[in-house]
Amino acid sequence: MNKEELFWSASTEELSQGYMYDRENDLFRCLICHQIFENGVIYKSGEVYYEARKAITRHISEEHHSMFFYLLNLDKKYTGLSAQQKELIGYFKNGYTDKEIVAELGSGSPSTIRNHRFKLREKEKQAKVFLAMMKLLASEKDNQEFIHFHKGATMVDDRYAITTEEKEKILKNYFKQGLNGPLDIFPSKEKRKIVVLQHIMKRFDADKTYSEADVNNVLCLVYDDYVTLRRYLIEYGFMERSRDGMEYWVKA
């Protein structure tokens, strides 16, 4: 399971705490940076030593500060929240009263803020029902499993409605010499592009910064027209680059 799949497979409880427990390997994994903490190992923080579960909790607090604000700052396509709702939720989290929020915003009224609180609580109820329905749907034998799209994805629409079965067929057709081999031809259809680009990204290290030459060296082993691959990796939000084009990295 890659890092994107790990994040999206997490339960609501795991997302809120910021880590998952890998029972098979007996370790805890941070959902943001993917650092691992193994059970049975003692970790030092400052002058204090901690067991794995406590250590990863401190790690999230010290390195990432707040899982709440990390989730809140995700793109709208993941949270479903407007900019105004995000701003208000931030105030609610920080303990502001309705009157204090009005003062901070410089507009509105306490009754308007109360109405927003009410609507968010109703949204929470709806989310619980929806999650319950999706859990029941997932238990159906004929339920189709869709691939996880990357968090940097731009304009998430029906292009990303790709089942795992479709993905396997596409990769088999475009990587005829095997999944670790070269790309036969770059697809013209959007869905196929996404699948191919997502697979190519497995050749990059999420924790590494690359020069343009480094990126080209990786991509030229995949396809002769590596410039086209590089352009689409940026355009589709798989990778980012510095303004001067000197540095490239996997988009988190």
The DSSP symbol for 147 reads: P
| Pick from 153, 250, 151: nearest CA to 205 | 250
Report yes or no on 106 lying in a domain. yes
- Are 131 and 188 found together in one domain? no
- Does the residue 150 lie in any domain? no
Which of these three, 45, 66, 87, is where a domain ends? 66
Residue 144 lies in a domain: no
Mean pLDDT, consecutive 10-residue stretches, the chain (252 aa), reads 75 93 93 92 91 95 92 88 94 95 94 95 93 79 58 56 84 94 93 92 92 96 95 92 93 78
Strands, E assignment, 103-224: 209-210
237 in a structural domain: yes
pLDDT at 99: 95
The pLDDT score that the predictor gives to residue 162 is 76
In a domain, 148, yes or no: no
| CA distance linking residue 88 with residue 148, whole number of Å | 29
- What whole-number distance in Å separates Cα of residue 172 and Cα of residue 195? 11
Identify the domain boundary among 84, 106, 138: 138
User: Domain ends where: 49, 66, 83?
Assistant: 66
How many domains, in total, are found in the chain?
3
pLDDT for the residue numbered 94: 94
Q: Are 46 and 110 part of one and the same domain?
A: no
Q: How far is CA 144 from CA 10, 155, 192, in A?
A: 19, 22, 18
Q: Is residue 30 part of a domain?
A: yes
Q: How far apart are CA 7 and CA 212, in angstroms?
A: 28
For residues 51 and 98, membership in a common domain is answered with: no
**Domain limits for position 235:** 158-250
